[in-house]
Amino acid sequence: MKVLENILRLSNGVKHLIKNILIVLFCSLLLWRLVLAVVPAPNIDATNHWAWNEVIGWIDFSGSVEVNEAGAPAELRGYATSNVGKIYFNCNSTDLAGTNSCPPAFAVSIGALSGGTYPLTGYAWNDLAGWISFGSNTNDAVYLKQESGKWTFYGAAWNDLIGWVTFNCADATIETAGFCAGFPNYKVQKGGAAPTLSADFVSEIFDTQVTNPVFNYILWRGNTTGVLVKFDVETSVDLSAWHPLDLASLTSNADCSNPDDLCDLSGAAHERYIRYKINFSSVDFAAATDFSIDDVIINYSP
């Protein structure tokens, strides 16, 4: 059996081109989001908007809280409501500015996106409980990360009077472990899907020089830390029409998303020409500093 392996080795120039395209897309989307963030607006999920504290009970983030992770400054805005009154996340809240609580100025700031998470730091304020620390002390840490496509609060904030405030039962402290057994699914999420940036690379057309080739597999090698890779493959008899291959019906590695895995091409039409498209997507291209695709191999028999 004659086996021909077409190997595409992306040059450094093409790698840089792909990275530049991703950076441009990232910057363009960032600017777009900055424009939208000029006017603060509540954006907490309509279903998942509850935090918990053992002393004061449920804390409701709905209706008045904005998660402004891409703003200038990036911060939480507005206030949550509780049995002991409002918990303010920013000194610029409309009904707080100019009162005895401000100054001193305070805010819960959202740090730079890193490894797919946004760290939160700073302090919130409640007129009865006082300062609530978000990642500003040794033991408390609060951050945002994606869950089911939405930015979700994880970790716990601390107050010296009422103790831990937890935002997600998945990260509940020992004090709330028993409560989570009865209410395992509470969480605070930002409404709407977290934005995902993407870009495509389309291969050259490969001519097998065989009338009825039998395609066996496609695989690729490289490092895609922080980036999701998806392959699409299609074939053609004479370049006038292309026929896509449904990879999901052939292999558990449905989109050829993992390096060094053999992706089954046995369902491809026996046609002379073949090409593929690679889709790259991520919520944090800036963190994907080691991202590269070095080899793409298509194996077929005449």
Do 55 and 180 reside in the same domain of the chain?
yes
DSSP secondary structure, the chain, as one string:
---EEEEEE--HHHHHHHHHHHHHHHHHHHHHHHHHTTS----EEEEEEEEEETTTEEEE-TTTEEEETTSSS-EEEEEEEETTEEEESBTT-TTTTTSTT-SSP-BEEE---BTTEEEEEEEEEETTTEEEEES-SSS-EEEEEEETTEEEEEEEEEETTTEEEESBGGG--GGGHHHHHHSTT-BEEESSPPP-EEEEEEPPPEE---SS-EEEEEEEEEE-TT-EEEEEEEEESSSSS-EE--GGGT-SSTT--STTPPEE-TTS---SEEEEEEEEEES-GGG-TT-EEEEEEEEEE-
Residue 36 lies in a domain: no
What's the predicted TM-score (pTM) here? 0.56
- Total domains, the chain: 2
Residues 14, 49: Cα–Cα separation, whole Å? 44
Mean of pLDDT values over 31-53: 63
Q: Given a cut of 90, is residue 146 above it in pLDDT?
A: no
Do 105 and 186 reside in the same domain of the chain?
yes
Express each pLDDT in 177-189 by its tens digit.
666 777 778 899 9
Backbone angles phi, psi at 145, to 5 degrees: -145, 165
Q: What is the CATH number of the domain that holds 272?
A: 2.60.120
Express each pLDDT in 53-87 by its tens digit.
989 999 999 878 988 877 778 889 889 999 999 99
Residue 259 lies in a domain: yes
pLDDT of residue 100: 54
Residue 172 lies in a domain: yes
Residue 241 lies in a domain: yes
Do 89 and 168 reside in the same domain of the chain?
yes
Do 134 and 222 reside in the same domain of the chain?
no
Do 180 and 67 reside in the same domain of the chain?
yes
Do 186 and 280 reside in the same domain of the chain?
no
Do 252 and 275 reside in the same domain of the chain?
yes
Structural domain harbouring 287: 4-28+196-301
Residue 38 lies in a domain: no
Do 205 and 141 reside in the same domain of the chain?
no
End-of-domain residue from the set 155, 170, 190: 190
Express each pLDDT in 91-139 by its tens digit.
876 565 445 556 577 889 998 877 778 899 999 999 899 999 998 766 6
